[in-house]
């Protein structure tokens, strides 16, 4: 007869804990600073460093001939870069939601700055766009790029993908006011940037297709009307239309008396394309650009700084620079995809449109395939306002990515 196994003793459970249970820990959430996009920051810093070298390369020879300090322009641009990086850090300190709540005040302030240029502004290179501020000059048309992005993001995000005709009218009004003020300043390039930013953000916000088609047709009709009505000044018309002419050389343009600025613009384009071609595959070497050293290319430290890269580093160096810009675009798009809400996505898309258009337009105009619109190359061209605003825009993108888990 088999013996039954003795019964197993039931384990005793510990008594239930007394007092208030500890709060559960949030799994997978780390401090916001751990989510900084280092790839984006490093790519931007690399472009800025190249820009500093190119600013020095395009100004050192002329300053030496004039008996001035060869490092003076570089030192000034380095100061601008330091201020820009500080502004970038400051932009990342607060959640971008706070900037959206400040958007109306920032927008109004930027409009007041634009209006102030008509009273105290200085005219440089045909545009009355700078406000003297001690030893520096502030360009409000650059500042309004960021304030418009924040304002449109706040307004469009509140519609939650349902952009009605009424909301569309308000959005257009927000964009048209600074557009007109900037146009009156003769800063046509900055006005075009605002238009591209507006279109990109409207598309991402879910604006109906028929509304976008209507806006496109209206814009085409408006551009055609402006070109035919004579509202543009002679040098503005020459900048926009000269690139459409066949590249037959300066000799035939000199005889064109219908627009006295056409010959000058075409001459500038010829010198720009000559500098790019002179670089060949690998370039002439740093500080060895013949056309750069002799200042054949006008405004080479600002609008035409890409030609200095092409002449000294050739196709290979130019391609590497454009690859760095492509990284900035890619990481900005990535931040838009990962954003926690529509507002964050729209901020990134606005910045993305701003950078993409400026790079394409600036590089394109040096090659003669785009109008000479007076648009700077981000992080490269000499100037404090554009440098600071570009880094603040990067700060907004980094901010959106940092707080995607908040």
Give the number of other Cβ atoms within 10 Å of residue 106's Cβ. 18
Listed range (54-63, 294-303, 358-367) with the worst mean pLDDT: 294-303
Mean pLDDT for all residues in the chain: 85
251: pLDDT confidence band, cut at 50, 70 and 90? very low
Helix (H) or strand (E) holding 268: helix 262-279
* Cα torsion angle, 356, 362, 364, 365, sign: positive
- Cβ contacts of residue 199 below 8 Å, gap of 6+? 212, 215, 353
Q: 138 - beta bridge partners?
A: 131
- Cβ contacts of residue 65 below 8 Å, gap of 6+? none
Phi, psi of 249 (to 5 degrees): 105, 170
With a pLDDT cut of 90, the percent of the chain lying above it is: 56
Is pLDDT of 174 > 80? yes
Residue 113 and residue 138 in contact, taking contact as beta carbons nearer than 8 Å: yes
Listed range (116-130, 157-171, 214-228) with the worst mean pLDDT: 116-130
Helix (H) or strand (E) holding 136: strand 136-138
Listed range (41-55, 220-234, 359-373) with the worst mean pLDDT: 220-234
Rounded to an integer, what distance in angstroms lies between the CA atom of residue 128 and that of residue 321?
Answer: 31
- Cβ contacts of residue 381 below 8 Å, gap of 6+? 51, 301, 302, 303, 305, 362
Q: How many angstroms from the chain centroid is the CA of residue 130? A: 18
Residue 271 and residue 279 in contact, taking contact as beta carbons nearer than 8 Å: no
246-to-118, 364, 365 alpha-carbon distances in Å:
38, 16, 15
pLDDT (average), residues 325-344: 96
More confident: 229 or 270: 270
Predicted pLDDT at 29: 55
374: pLDDT confidence band, cut at 50, 70 and 90? confident
More confident: 207 or 395: 395
Give the number of other Cβ atoms within 10 Å of residue 227's Cβ. 13
pLDDT (average), residues 240-265: 57
Listed range (82-91, 122-131, 369-378) with the worst mean pLDDT: 122-131
Is pLDDT of 183 > 80? yes
Is pLDDT of 96 > 80? yes
More confident: 74 or 188: 74
Site of tokens 């993908």: 161
33: pLDDT confidence band, cut at 50, 70 and 90? confident
pLDDT (average), residues 63-69: 89
Largest CA distance in the chain: 125
Is pLDDT of 16 > 60? no
pTM of the predicted structure, to 2 decimals: 0.87
pLDDT (average), residues 210-217: 87
Predicted pLDDT at 230: 65
25: pLDDT confidence band, cut at 50, 70 and 90? very low
Residue spans of beta strands (DSSP E) within 68-121: none
Is pLDDT of 250 > 60? no
* Cα torsion angle, 240, 185, 211, 342, sign: positive
Residue 273 and residue 248 in contact, taking contact as beta carbons nearer than 8 Å: no
pLDDT (average), residues 137-149: 93
């Amino acid at each position: 007869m088999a013996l039954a196994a003795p019964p197993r003793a039931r384990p005793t459970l510990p008594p239930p804990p007394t007092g208030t249970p500890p709060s559960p820990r949030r799994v997978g959430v780390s401090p916001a600073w751990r989510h900084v996009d280092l790839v984006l920051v490093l790519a931007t810093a690399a472009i800025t460093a190249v820009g500093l070298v190119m600013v020095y390369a395009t100004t050192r020879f002329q300053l030496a001939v004039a008996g001035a300090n060869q490092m003076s322009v570089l030192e000034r641009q380095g100061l601008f870069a330091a201020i820009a990086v500080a502004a970038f850090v400051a932009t990342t300190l607060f959640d971008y939601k706070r900037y959206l709540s400040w958007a109306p005040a920032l927008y109004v302030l930027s409009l007041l700055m634009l209006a102030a240029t008509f009273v105290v502004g200085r005219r440089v290179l045909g545009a009355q766009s700078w406000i003297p501020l001690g030893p520096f000059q502030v360009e409000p048309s650059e500042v309004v790029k960021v304030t418009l992005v924040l304002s449109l993001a706040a307004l469009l995000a509140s519609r939650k993908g349902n952009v009605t005709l009424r909301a569309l009218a308000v959005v257009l009004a927000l964009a048209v006011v600074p557009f007109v003020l900037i146009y009156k300043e003769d800063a046509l390039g900055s006005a075009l940037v605002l238009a591209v930013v507006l279109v990109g953000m409207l598309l991402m916000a879910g604006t109906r297709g028929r509304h976008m088609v209507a806006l496109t047709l209206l814009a085409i009709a408006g551009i055609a009307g402006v070109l035919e009505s004579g509202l543009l000044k002679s040098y503005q018309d020459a900048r926009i239309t000269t690139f459409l002419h066949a590249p037959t050389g300066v000799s035939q343009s000199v005889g064109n008396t219908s627009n006295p600025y056409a010959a000058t613009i075409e001459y500038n384009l010829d010198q720009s394309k000559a500098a790019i071609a002179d670089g060949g595959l690998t370039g002439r070497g740093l500080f060895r650009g013949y056309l750069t050293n002799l200042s054949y290319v006008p405004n080479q430290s600002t609008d035409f700084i890409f030609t200095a890269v092409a002449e000294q580093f050739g196709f290979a160096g130019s391609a590497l620079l454009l690859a760095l810009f492509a990284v900035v675009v890619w990481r900005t798009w990535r931040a838009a995809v990962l954003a926690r809400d529509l507002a964050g996505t729209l901020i990134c898309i606005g910045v993305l449109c701003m950078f993409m258009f400026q790079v394409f337009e600036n590089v394109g105009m040096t090659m003669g395939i785009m109008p000479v619109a007076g648009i700077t190359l981000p992080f490269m061209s000499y100037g404090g306002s554009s440098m600071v605003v570009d880094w603040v825009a990067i700060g907004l993108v980094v901010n959106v990515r940092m707080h995607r888990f908040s």
